[in-house]
Structure 1
Amino acid sequence: MSTTTTNNHHPNTKPKPKPKSAKPPSKPTRVYLTLYNLLSFTLWATSTVHALSLLLLQQTPLPQIFTAVFPLLLATQSLALLEILHSVVGLVRAPVFTTAMQVASRILLVWGIMYLFREGGVAVAGTGAGAGAGAGEAGRKGIVGVEGMEGGEEQMQVQVQVADYGFLGCVFAWGITECIRYGFFVLQVSGLGVPAWWAWLRYNTFYVLYPLGITSECVMVVMALGPAAEWMPVYRWFLVVVLGIYVPGSYILYTHMIAQRRKALKKKD
Protein backbone atom coordinates (compact mmCIF):
# COMPACT_ATOMS: atom_id res chain seq x y z
CA MET A 1 0.00 0.00 0.00
CA SER A 2 1.54 3.26 -1.07
CA THR A 3 1.04 6.63 0.50
CA THR A 4 0.97 9.79 -1.58
CA THR A 5 2.18 12.96 0.05
CA THR A 6 1.53 16.46 -1.19
CA ASN A 7 4.29 19.02 -1.05
CA ASN A 8 2.87 22.53 -1.15
CA HIS A 9 6.34 23.87 -1.97
CA HIS A 10 6.88 21.68 -5.02
CA PRO A 11 8.16 23.83 -7.90
CA ASN A 12 5.45 22.49 -10.24
CA THR A 13 2.66 23.35 -7.82
CA LYS A 14 1.12 26.75 -8.53
CA PRO A 15 -0.21 28.62 -5.53
CA LYS A 16 -3.91 29.32 -5.64
CA PRO A 17 -4.62 32.93 -6.53
CA LYS A 18 -6.21 34.97 -3.80
CA PRO A 19 -9.71 36.18 -4.59
CA LYS A 20 -9.68 39.80 -5.63
CA SER A 21 -11.64 42.09 -3.40
CA ALA A 22 -13.98 44.55 -5.06
CA LYS A 23 -12.28 47.85 -5.76
CA PRO A 24 -13.94 50.61 -3.75
CA PRO A 25 -15.54 53.33 -5.87
CA SER A 26 -13.71 56.60 -6.29
CA LYS A 27 -14.84 59.69 -4.41
CA PRO A 28 -16.49 61.31 -7.49
CA THR A 29 -18.36 58.05 -8.12
CA ARG A 30 -19.55 57.89 -4.51
CA VAL A 31 -20.72 61.50 -4.63
CA TYR A 32 -22.56 60.95 -7.91
CA LEU A 33 -24.24 57.73 -6.75
CA THR A 34 -25.21 59.30 -3.43
CA LEU A 35 -26.84 62.26 -5.19
CA TYR A 36 -28.54 60.02 -7.76
CA ASN A 37 -29.97 57.72 -5.10
CA LEU A 38 -31.00 60.65 -2.93
CA LEU A 39 -32.83 62.27 -5.84
CA SER A 40 -34.55 59.00 -6.73
CA PHE A 41 -35.55 58.44 -3.10
CA THR A 42 -37.03 61.94 -2.90
CA LEU A 43 -39.00 61.57 -6.13
CA TRP A 44 -40.39 58.15 -5.20
CA ALA A 45 -41.26 59.29 -1.68
CA THR A 46 -43.07 62.35 -3.07
CA SER A 47 -45.08 60.27 -5.55
CA THR A 48 -46.00 57.63 -2.98
CA VAL A 49 -46.94 60.03 -0.19
CA HIS A 50 -48.93 62.16 -2.63
CA ALA A 51 -50.94 59.14 -3.80
CA LEU A 52 -51.47 57.97 -0.21
CA SER A 53 -52.61 61.43 0.84
CA LEU A 54 -55.09 61.67 -2.03
CA LEU A 55 -56.45 58.21 -1.29
CA LEU A 56 -56.75 58.31 2.51
CA LEU A 57 -56.89 61.96 3.55
CA GLN A 58 -58.71 63.59 0.65
CA GLN A 59 -60.61 60.46 -0.45
CA THR A 60 -59.99 61.36 -4.07
CA PRO A 61 -61.56 59.03 -6.68
CA LEU A 62 -59.03 56.63 -8.17
CA PRO A 63 -59.15 58.04 -11.73
CA GLN A 64 -58.30 61.48 -10.37
CA ILE A 65 -55.41 60.05 -8.35
CA PHE A 66 -53.87 58.82 -11.59
CA THR A 67 -54.25 62.24 -13.20
CA ALA A 68 -52.58 63.93 -10.23
CA VAL A 69 -49.74 61.46 -9.64
CA PHE A 70 -48.83 60.15 -13.08
CA PRO A 71 -46.74 63.08 -14.44
CA LEU A 72 -44.24 62.85 -11.58
CA LEU A 73 -44.31 59.05 -11.64
CA LEU A 74 -43.50 59.09 -15.36
CA ALA A 75 -40.46 61.32 -14.85
CA THR A 76 -39.32 59.40 -11.77
CA GLN A 77 -39.44 55.99 -13.44
CA SER A 78 -37.82 57.31 -16.63
CA LEU A 79 -34.85 58.45 -14.55
CA ALA A 80 -34.18 54.78 -13.75
CA LEU A 81 -32.93 54.27 -17.32
CA LEU A 82 -29.63 55.60 -15.98
CA GLU A 83 -29.31 52.44 -13.89
CA ILE A 84 -28.76 50.35 -17.00
CA LEU A 85 -25.93 52.70 -17.94
CA HIS A 86 -24.53 52.50 -14.41
CA SER A 87 -24.42 48.72 -14.69
CA VAL A 88 -22.91 48.70 -18.20
CA VAL A 89 -20.04 51.07 -17.38
CA GLY A 90 -19.37 49.41 -14.02
CA LEU A 91 -20.41 52.17 -11.63
CA VAL A 92 -22.38 49.51 -9.74
CA ARG A 93 -22.01 45.74 -9.50
CA ALA A 94 -25.61 44.98 -10.48
CA PRO A 95 -25.94 42.46 -13.36
CA VAL A 96 -26.73 44.20 -16.65
CA PHE A 97 -29.32 41.62 -17.75
CA THR A 98 -31.47 41.64 -14.62
CA THR A 99 -31.17 45.42 -14.30
CA ALA A 100 -32.28 45.89 -17.91
CA MET A 101 -35.19 43.47 -17.47
CA GLN A 102 -36.50 45.24 -14.40
CA VAL A 103 -36.15 48.75 -15.80
CA ALA A 104 -37.57 47.76 -19.21
CA SER A 105 -40.72 46.28 -17.68
CA ARG A 106 -41.36 49.49 -15.75
CA ILE A 107 -40.67 51.67 -18.80
CA LEU A 108 -43.14 49.59 -20.80
CA LEU A 109 -45.77 50.15 -18.13
CA VAL A 110 -45.37 53.91 -17.73
CA TRP A 111 -44.79 54.79 -21.39
CA GLY A 112 -46.25 51.87 -23.34
CA ILE A 113 -49.40 51.40 -21.26
CA MET A 114 -50.18 54.28 -18.88
CA TYR A 115 -49.03 57.10 -21.15
CA LEU A 116 -50.51 55.70 -24.37
CA PHE A 117 -53.81 54.40 -23.03
CA ARG A 118 -54.61 56.92 -20.30
CA GLU A 119 -57.64 59.14 -20.74
CA GLY A 120 -56.60 61.61 -23.44
CA GLY A 121 -53.61 59.49 -24.42
CA VAL A 122 -52.26 59.24 -27.95
CA ALA A 123 -53.51 55.69 -28.50
CA VAL A 124 -57.12 56.40 -27.50
CA ALA A 125 -57.59 59.94 -28.81
CA GLY A 126 -59.23 58.78 -32.03
CA THR A 127 -61.22 55.83 -30.71
CA GLY A 128 -64.88 55.81 -29.86
CA ALA A 129 -66.17 56.19 -26.34
CA GLY A 130 -65.88 52.99 -24.39
CA ALA A 131 -63.26 51.51 -26.69
CA GLY A 132 -60.98 50.60 -23.83
CA ALA A 133 -61.47 47.37 -21.96
CA GLY A 134 -63.60 48.16 -18.97
CA ALA A 135 -64.35 51.72 -20.13
CA GLY A 136 -66.64 53.64 -17.83
CA GLU A 137 -70.13 54.96 -18.48
CA ALA A 138 -69.00 58.59 -18.41
CA GLY A 139 -67.60 58.37 -21.95
CA ARG A 140 -64.08 57.47 -20.90
CA LYS A 141 -61.92 56.29 -23.77
CA GLY A 142 -58.76 55.49 -21.84
CA ILE A 143 -58.26 52.57 -19.49
CA VAL A 144 -57.01 54.75 -16.62
CA GLY A 145 -57.27 58.33 -15.41
CA VAL A 146 -59.73 61.07 -16.28
CA GLU A 147 -59.51 64.43 -18.03
CA GLY A 148 -61.08 67.79 -17.27
CA MET A 149 -62.68 66.69 -14.02
CA GLU A 150 -62.58 68.89 -10.97
CA GLY A 151 -63.96 68.27 -7.51
CA GLY A 152 -67.63 67.98 -6.62
CA GLU A 153 -70.45 65.74 -7.80
CA GLU A 154 -69.16 65.60 -11.37
CA GLN A 155 -65.95 64.00 -10.15
CA MET A 156 -67.78 61.40 -8.08
CA GLN A 157 -69.81 60.21 -11.09
CA VAL A 158 -66.72 58.88 -12.87
CA GLN A 159 -66.78 55.10 -12.83
CA VAL A 160 -63.66 53.42 -11.51
CA GLN A 161 -62.09 50.99 -13.97
CA VAL A 162 -60.00 47.90 -13.31
CA ALA A 163 -56.85 49.61 -14.55
CA ASP A 164 -57.33 52.38 -11.98
CA TYR A 165 -56.84 49.74 -9.29
CA GLY A 166 -53.89 48.34 -11.23
CA PHE A 167 -52.27 51.76 -11.29
CA LEU A 168 -52.74 52.19 -7.56
CA GLY A 169 -51.13 48.79 -6.96
CA CYS A 170 -48.16 49.78 -9.12
CA VAL A 171 -47.70 53.10 -7.34
CA PHE A 172 -47.62 51.59 -3.87
CA ALA A 173 -45.66 48.44 -4.75
CA TRP A 174 -43.08 50.39 -6.74
CA GLY A 175 -43.02 53.39 -4.43
CA ILE A 176 -42.49 51.53 -1.15
CA THR A 177 -39.93 49.22 -2.76
CA GLU A 178 -37.94 52.06 -4.28
CA CYS A 179 -38.01 54.24 -1.17
CA ILE A 180 -36.50 51.36 0.78
CA ARG A 181 -33.99 50.51 -1.97
CA TYR A 182 -32.77 54.01 -2.76
CA GLY A 183 -32.69 54.96 0.91
CA PHE A 184 -30.58 51.86 1.56
CA PHE A 185 -28.13 52.86 -1.18
CA VAL A 186 -27.89 56.46 0.07
CA LEU A 187 -26.92 55.25 3.53
CA GLN A 188 -24.57 52.59 2.16
CA VAL A 189 -22.72 54.60 -0.51
CA SER A 190 -22.42 57.74 1.60
CA GLY A 191 -20.79 55.75 4.40
CA LEU A 192 -23.41 56.68 7.00
CA GLY A 193 -24.19 53.03 7.65
CA VAL A 194 -27.44 51.13 7.18
CA PRO A 195 -29.52 50.48 10.32
CA ALA A 196 -30.44 46.84 10.90
CA TRP A 197 -34.15 47.54 10.58
CA TRP A 198 -33.66 49.22 7.19
CA ALA A 199 -31.59 46.27 5.98
CA TRP A 200 -34.38 43.96 7.13
CA LEU A 201 -36.89 45.94 5.07
CA ARG A 202 -34.55 45.87 2.08
CA TYR A 203 -34.25 42.10 2.03
CA ASN A 204 -37.70 41.00 3.19
CA THR A 205 -40.47 43.31 1.97
CA PHE A 206 -40.07 42.19 -1.64
CA TYR A 207 -41.71 38.88 -0.70
CA VAL A 208 -45.02 40.78 -0.58
CA LEU A 209 -44.40 43.88 -2.68
CA TYR A 210 -42.98 42.10 -5.73
CA PRO A 211 -46.04 39.84 -6.30
CA LEU A 212 -48.29 42.88 -5.77
CA GLY A 213 -46.34 44.86 -8.34
CA ILE A 214 -46.24 42.06 -10.92
CA THR A 215 -49.97 41.39 -10.54
CA SER A 216 -50.79 45.09 -10.92
CA GLU A 217 -48.55 45.37 -13.98
CA CYS A 218 -50.21 42.37 -15.64
CA VAL A 219 -53.64 43.87 -14.94
CA MET A 220 -52.59 47.08 -16.69
CA VAL A 221 -51.29 45.19 -19.73
CA VAL A 222 -54.42 43.03 -20.00
CA MET A 223 -56.68 46.07 -19.80
CA ALA A 224 -54.71 47.70 -22.63
CA LEU A 225 -55.23 44.79 -25.05
CA GLY A 226 -58.65 46.02 -26.19
CA PRO A 227 -57.73 49.60 -27.09
CA ALA A 228 -54.37 48.42 -28.45
CA ALA A 229 -56.18 46.24 -30.99
CA GLU A 230 -58.11 49.27 -32.25
CA TRP A 231 -55.11 51.59 -32.23
CA MET A 232 -52.48 49.26 -33.73
CA PRO A 233 -53.17 45.50 -33.97
CA VAL A 234 -49.48 44.63 -34.11
CA TYR A 235 -48.98 46.43 -30.80
CA ARG A 236 -51.65 44.25 -29.24
CA TRP A 237 -49.72 41.17 -30.29
CA PHE A 238 -46.58 42.72 -28.86
CA LEU A 239 -48.38 43.08 -25.51
CA VAL A 240 -49.54 39.47 -25.72
CA VAL A 241 -45.91 38.40 -26.15
CA VAL A 242 -44.95 40.61 -23.21
CA LEU A 243 -47.51 38.83 -21.03
CA GLY A 244 -45.97 35.52 -22.09
CA ILE A 245 -42.53 36.77 -21.06
CA TYR A 246 -43.76 38.07 -17.71
CA VAL A 247 -44.03 34.62 -16.13
CA PRO A 248 -40.44 33.44 -16.75
CA GLY A 249 -39.13 37.00 -16.44
CA SER A 250 -40.74 37.59 -13.07
CA TYR A 251 -39.41 34.23 -11.87
CA ILE A 252 -35.86 35.22 -12.88
CA LEU A 253 -36.09 38.56 -11.09
CA TYR A 254 -37.75 37.05 -8.02
CA THR A 255 -35.10 34.34 -7.63
CA HIS A 256 -32.40 36.96 -8.24
CA MET A 257 -33.71 38.98 -5.30
CA ILE A 258 -33.84 35.87 -3.13
CA ALA A 259 -30.20 35.15 -4.05
CA GLN A 260 -29.26 38.73 -3.15
CA ARG A 261 -30.96 38.28 0.20
CA ARG A 262 -28.98 35.11 0.90
CA LYS A 263 -25.69 36.82 0.04
CA ALA A 264 -26.51 39.73 2.31
CA LEU A 265 -27.39 37.43 5.20
CA LYS A 266 -24.16 35.45 4.72
CA LYS A 267 -22.11 38.64 4.92
CA LYS A 268 -23.77 39.49 8.23
CA ASP A 269 -22.96 36.05 9.61
Structure 2
Amino acid sequence: MAPPPSAPRAVSPLTRYYLLAYNAVSFGLWATCTLRAALLVILLAPTGHLPAVFGQVFSPLLVTAQSMALLEILHSLLGLVRAPVFTTAMQVASRLLLVWGGALRGPGAQAGDLAFLGCLAAWGITECIRYGFFALQVWGQGVPSWWTWLRYNTFYILYPIGISSECILIFLSLDRAAALHPLYWWFFVVALVIYIPGSYILYTHMIAQRRKVLRGKKRA
Protein backbone atom coordinates (compact mmCIF):
# COMPACT_ATOMS: atom_id res chain seq x y z
CA MET A 1 0.00 0.00 0.00
CA ALA A 2 1.37 3.38 -0.95
CA PRO A 3 1.94 6.38 1.39
CA PRO A 4 0.78 9.69 -0.03
CA PRO A 5 3.80 11.91 -0.82
CA SER A 6 3.97 15.48 0.39
CA ALA A 7 2.73 18.40 -1.63
CA PRO A 8 4.95 19.91 -4.31
CA ARG A 9 7.23 22.83 -3.48
CA ALA A 10 7.01 26.23 -5.12
CA VAL A 11 8.30 25.46 -8.59
CA SER A 12 8.81 27.06 -11.98
CA PRO A 13 5.83 27.30 -14.36
CA LEU A 14 7.26 24.55 -16.58
CA THR A 15 7.67 22.19 -13.62
CA ARG A 16 4.20 23.12 -12.40
CA TYR A 17 2.67 22.22 -15.77
CA TYR A 18 4.56 18.93 -15.76
CA LEU A 19 3.36 18.01 -12.27
CA LEU A 20 -0.19 19.00 -13.19
CA ALA A 21 -0.06 16.77 -16.28
CA TYR A 22 1.55 13.89 -14.39
CA ASN A 23 -1.01 13.92 -11.60
CA ALA A 24 -3.96 14.43 -13.95
CA VAL A 25 -2.88 11.56 -16.23
CA SER A 26 -2.20 9.30 -13.24
CA PHE A 27 -5.62 10.15 -11.82
CA GLY A 28 -7.26 9.29 -15.14
CA LEU A 29 -5.42 5.96 -15.43
CA TRP A 30 -6.21 4.91 -11.88
CA ALA A 31 -9.83 6.01 -12.18
CA THR A 32 -10.16 3.93 -15.36
CA CYS A 33 -8.62 0.83 -13.73
CA THR A 34 -10.66 1.22 -10.55
CA LEU A 35 -14.01 1.85 -12.23
CA ARG A 36 -13.42 -0.97 -14.69
CA ALA A 37 -12.61 -3.38 -11.85
CA ALA A 38 -15.67 -2.25 -9.86
CA LEU A 39 -17.94 -2.77 -12.86
CA LEU A 40 -16.48 -6.22 -13.52
CA VAL A 41 -16.98 -7.23 -9.88
CA ILE A 42 -20.63 -6.14 -10.05
CA LEU A 43 -21.18 -8.06 -13.29
CA LEU A 44 -19.19 -11.19 -12.47
CA ALA A 45 -19.86 -11.69 -8.75
CA PRO A 46 -23.37 -13.15 -9.29
CA THR A 47 -21.98 -15.60 -11.87
CA GLY A 48 -19.12 -16.84 -9.69
CA HIS A 49 -16.47 -15.74 -12.21
CA LEU A 50 -14.61 -13.18 -10.10
CA PRO A 51 -11.17 -14.64 -11.06
CA ALA A 52 -11.80 -13.26 -14.57
CA VAL A 53 -11.33 -9.75 -13.17
CA PHE A 54 -7.59 -10.37 -13.02
CA GLY A 55 -7.21 -10.96 -16.74
CA GLN A 56 -9.25 -7.88 -17.58
CA VAL A 57 -7.42 -5.31 -15.44
CA PHE A 58 -3.89 -6.62 -14.92
CA SER A 59 -2.39 -5.31 -18.16
CA PRO A 60 -3.52 -1.68 -17.75
CA LEU A 61 -2.60 -1.87 -14.08
CA LEU A 62 0.90 -3.11 -14.95
CA VAL A 63 1.72 -1.03 -18.00
CA THR A 64 0.07 2.27 -17.17
CA ALA A 65 -0.89 2.99 -13.60
CA GLN A 66 1.64 1.14 -11.45
CA SER A 67 4.78 1.48 -13.54
CA MET A 68 4.38 5.26 -13.75
CA ALA A 69 5.15 5.33 -10.04
CA LEU A 70 8.84 4.93 -10.97
CA LEU A 71 8.79 8.61 -11.92
CA GLU A 72 7.92 9.49 -8.33
CA ILE A 73 11.37 8.43 -7.15
CA LEU A 74 12.84 10.80 -9.71
CA HIS A 75 10.50 13.57 -8.58
CA SER A 76 11.70 13.11 -5.01
CA LEU A 77 15.38 12.96 -5.97
CA LEU A 78 15.09 16.16 -8.03
CA GLY A 79 13.20 17.96 -5.28
CA LEU A 80 10.07 18.47 -7.37
CA VAL A 81 8.01 17.25 -4.41
CA ARG A 82 8.67 17.12 -0.68
CA ALA A 83 8.22 13.35 -0.46
CA PRO A 84 11.17 11.68 1.32
CA VAL A 85 13.25 9.60 -1.08
CA PHE A 86 13.40 6.63 1.30
CA THR A 87 9.65 6.28 1.87
CA THR A 88 8.93 6.92 -1.80
CA ALA A 89 11.40 4.21 -2.82
CA MET A 90 9.80 1.78 -0.34
CA GLN A 91 6.39 2.58 -1.76
CA VAL A 92 7.44 2.00 -5.36
CA ALA A 93 9.50 -1.11 -4.54
CA SER A 94 6.55 -2.85 -2.90
CA ARG A 95 4.34 -2.14 -5.90
CA LEU A 96 6.95 -3.31 -8.41
CA LEU A 97 7.52 -6.49 -6.42
CA LEU A 98 3.86 -7.32 -6.83
CA VAL A 99 3.24 -6.30 -10.43
CA TRP A 100 6.63 -7.12 -11.95
CA GLY A 101 7.99 -9.63 -9.44
CA GLY A 102 5.33 -12.21 -10.13
CA ALA A 103 3.12 -12.03 -7.03
CA LEU A 104 0.19 -10.87 -9.15
CA ARG A 105 0.65 -13.41 -11.95
CA GLY A 106 -2.77 -14.99 -11.80
CA PRO A 107 -3.57 -15.54 -8.08
CA GLY A 108 -5.71 -18.61 -8.85
CA ALA A 109 -6.64 -19.74 -5.34
CA GLN A 110 -9.69 -18.17 -3.76
CA ALA A 111 -7.59 -16.42 -1.11
CA GLY A 112 -5.36 -15.04 -3.86
CA ASP A 113 -8.30 -13.79 -5.92
CA LEU A 114 -9.78 -12.03 -2.89
CA ALA A 115 -6.37 -10.57 -1.99
CA PHE A 116 -5.99 -9.27 -5.54
CA LEU A 117 -9.37 -7.57 -5.29
CA GLY A 118 -8.32 -6.17 -1.92
CA CYS A 119 -5.22 -4.66 -3.53
CA LEU A 120 -7.26 -3.24 -6.38
CA ALA A 121 -9.73 -1.61 -4.01
CA ALA A 122 -7.12 -0.21 -1.64
CA TRP A 123 -4.73 0.93 -4.38
CA GLY A 124 -7.42 2.31 -6.68
CA ILE A 125 -9.33 4.38 -4.14
CA THR A 126 -6.13 5.65 -2.52
CA GLU A 127 -4.48 6.64 -5.78
CA CYS A 128 -7.57 8.34 -7.20
CA ILE A 129 -7.81 10.45 -4.05
CA ARG A 130 -4.05 11.11 -3.95
CA TYR A 131 -3.46 12.06 -7.58
CA GLY A 132 -6.70 14.04 -7.76
CA PHE A 133 -5.69 15.95 -4.64
CA PHE A 134 -2.30 16.88 -6.07
CA ALA A 135 -3.69 17.76 -9.48
CA LEU A 136 -6.08 20.24 -7.85
CA GLN A 137 -3.35 21.52 -5.57
CA VAL A 138 -0.88 22.15 -8.39
CA TRP A 139 -3.64 23.69 -10.50
CA GLY A 140 -3.94 26.31 -7.77
CA GLN A 141 -7.73 26.64 -7.63
CA GLY A 142 -8.02 25.11 -4.17
CA VAL A 143 -8.85 21.61 -2.95
CA PRO A 144 -12.36 21.02 -1.59
CA SER A 145 -12.40 20.38 2.16
CA TRP A 146 -14.10 17.01 1.69
CA TRP A 147 -11.34 15.87 -0.68
CA THR A 148 -8.71 16.97 1.85
CA TRP A 149 -10.55 14.96 4.50
CA LEU A 150 -10.48 11.88 2.27
CA ARG A 151 -6.81 12.46 1.51
CA TYR A 152 -5.77 12.41 5.15
CA ASN A 153 -8.23 9.96 6.70
CA THR A 154 -9.11 7.09 4.35
CA PHE A 155 -5.65 5.51 4.73
CA TYR A 156 -6.61 4.41 8.25
CA ILE A 157 -8.84 1.77 6.64
CA LEU A 158 -7.36 1.37 3.18
CA TYR A 159 -3.74 0.90 4.25
CA PRO A 160 -4.38 -2.21 6.43
CA ILE A 161 -6.52 -3.70 3.64
CA GLY A 162 -3.83 -3.05 1.05
CA ILE A 163 -0.83 -4.19 3.07
CA SER A 164 -2.52 -7.40 4.28
CA SER A 165 -3.64 -8.21 0.72
CA GLU A 166 -0.10 -7.66 -0.57
CA CYS A 167 1.36 -9.96 2.08
CA ILE A 168 -1.18 -12.68 1.27
CA LEU A 169 -0.31 -12.49 -2.43
CA ILE A 170 3.42 -12.73 -1.75
CA PHE A 171 2.89 -15.65 0.63
CA LEU A 172 0.76 -17.50 -1.91
CA SER A 173 3.49 -16.96 -4.51
CA LEU A 174 6.17 -18.77 -2.50
CA ASP A 175 5.52 -22.17 -4.15
CA ARG A 176 5.66 -20.61 -7.59
CA ALA A 177 8.87 -18.82 -6.69
CA ALA A 178 10.45 -22.03 -5.34
CA ALA A 179 9.64 -23.82 -8.59
CA LEU A 180 11.51 -21.15 -10.54
CA HIS A 181 14.63 -20.95 -8.34
CA PRO A 182 15.51 -21.30 -4.62
CA LEU A 183 16.97 -17.78 -4.60
CA TYR A 184 13.69 -16.43 -5.93
CA TRP A 185 11.92 -18.12 -2.99
CA TRP A 186 14.33 -16.50 -0.56
CA PHE A 187 13.75 -13.14 -2.26
CA PHE A 188 10.03 -13.40 -1.53
CA VAL A 189 10.68 -14.55 2.04
CA VAL A 190 12.98 -11.57 2.68
CA ALA A 191 10.34 -9.28 1.15
CA LEU A 192 7.75 -10.61 3.60
CA VAL A 193 10.11 -10.01 6.51
CA ILE A 194 10.82 -6.46 5.33
CA TYR A 195 7.09 -5.78 5.07
CA ILE A 196 6.78 -5.85 8.87
CA PRO A 197 9.03 -2.86 9.69
CA GLY A 198 8.39 -1.29 6.29
CA SER A 199 4.62 -1.13 6.74
CA TYR A 200 5.07 0.37 10.20
CA ILE A 201 7.40 3.08 8.85
CA LEU A 202 5.03 4.00 6.03
CA TYR A 203 1.92 3.93 8.24
CA THR A 204 3.45 6.16 10.91
CA HIS A 205 4.75 8.48 8.17
CA MET A 206 1.20 8.94 6.91
CA ILE A 207 -0.09 9.57 10.44
CA ALA A 208 2.63 12.20 10.94
CA GLN A 209 1.70 13.85 7.63
CA ARG A 210 -1.95 13.98 8.72
CA ARG A 211 -1.08 15.57 12.07
CA LYS A 212 1.14 18.15 10.36
CA VAL A 213 -1.64 19.17 7.99
CA LEU A 214 -4.25 19.33 10.75
CA ARG A 215 -1.95 21.48 12.91
CA GLY A 216 -1.46 23.83 9.98
CA LYS A 217 -5.21 24.14 9.45
CA LYS A 218 -5.80 24.89 13.14
CA ARG A 219 -3.18 27.66 13.06
CA ALA A 220 -4.75 29.11 9.94
TM-score of the alignment, normalized to the shorter chain, above 0.5:
yes
The aligned counterpart of 2:5 is: none
Matched, 1:62 2:50: yes
Output the CA distance in 1 between the equivalents of 2:183 and 2:103.
18
**Structure 1: runs of 5 or more not aligned:** 1-21, 119-142, 145-159
The aligned counterpart of 2:20 is: 34
Residue 94 (structure 1) shift: 0.6
Secondary structure at 2:121 match in 1 = helix
Secondary structure at 2:151 match in 1 = helix
If the length of structure 2 is used for normalisation, what is the TM-score?
A: 0.91
The aligned counterpart of 2:131 is: 182
Secondary structure at 2:101 match in 1 = helix
The aligned counterpart of 1:88 is: 77
The count of aligned residue pairs is: 208
Matched, 1:104 2:93: yes
Is contact 2:103–2:170 with CA below 8 Å preserved after alignment?
no
**Structure 2: runs of 5 or more not aligned:** 1-7
Output the CA distance in 1 between the equivalents of 2:94 and 2:155.
17
Residue 23 (structure 1) shift: 6.1
Matched, 1:200 2:149: yes
The aligned counterpart of 1:47 is: 33
Given candidates 10, 19, 24, the residue that maps to 2:10 is 24
Deviation by residue 1:1-60 (Cα, 9 ceiling, x = unmatched): xxxxxxxxxxxxxxxxxxxxx962111111000000000000001001001000113436
Are residues 23 and 66 of structure 1, via their aligned partners in 2, closer, same or farther at CA, if it must alter by over 3 Å?
closer
Secondary structure at 1:194 match in 2 = coil
Are residues 23 and 169 of structure 1, via their aligned partners in 2, closer, same or farther at CA, if it must alter by over 3 Å?
closer
Deviation by residue 1:48-87 (Cα, 9 ceiling, x = unmatched): 1001000113436222100000001102100110000000
Given candidates 74, 81, 88, the residue that maps to 2:62 is 74
Is contact 2:76–2:84 with CA below 8 Å preserved after alignment?
yes
Matched, 1:215 2:192: no
Deviation by residue 1:167-225 (Cα, 9 ceiling, x = unmatched): 10000100000000000000101102100000000000000000000000001000000
Output the CA distance in 2 between the equivalents of 1:180 and 1:50.
17
Question: Stretches of 4+ moved more than 4 A in 1?
Answer: none
The aligned counterpart of 2:4 is: none
Residue 163 (structure 1) shift: 1.0
Q: Which amino acid aligns with 1:217?
A: E
Task: Output aligned runs, 1:240-259, within 5 Å.
Answer: 240-259=189-208
Are residues 164 and 23 of structure 1, via their aligned partners in 2, closer, same or farther at CA, if it must alter by over 3 Å?
closer
Is contact 2:116–2:165 with CA below 8 Å preserved after alignment?
yes
Output the CA distance in 2 between the equivalents of 1:27 and 1:188.
14
Secondary structure at 1:46 match in 2 = helix
Q: Which amino acid aligns with 2:20?
A: T
Structure showing the higher helix proportion among its residues: 2
If the length of structure 1 is used for normalisation, what is the TM-score?
A: 0.75
Secondary structure at 2:102 match in 1 = helix
Output the CA distance in 2 between the equivalents of 1:176 and 1:231.
34
Output the CA distance in 2 between the equivalents of 1:54 and 1:114.
21
Residue 161 (structure 1) shift: 2.5
Q: Which structure has the greater CA radius of gyration?
A: 1
Is contact 1:113–1:220 with CA below 8 Å preserved after alignment?
no
Secondary structure at 2:18 match in 1 = helix
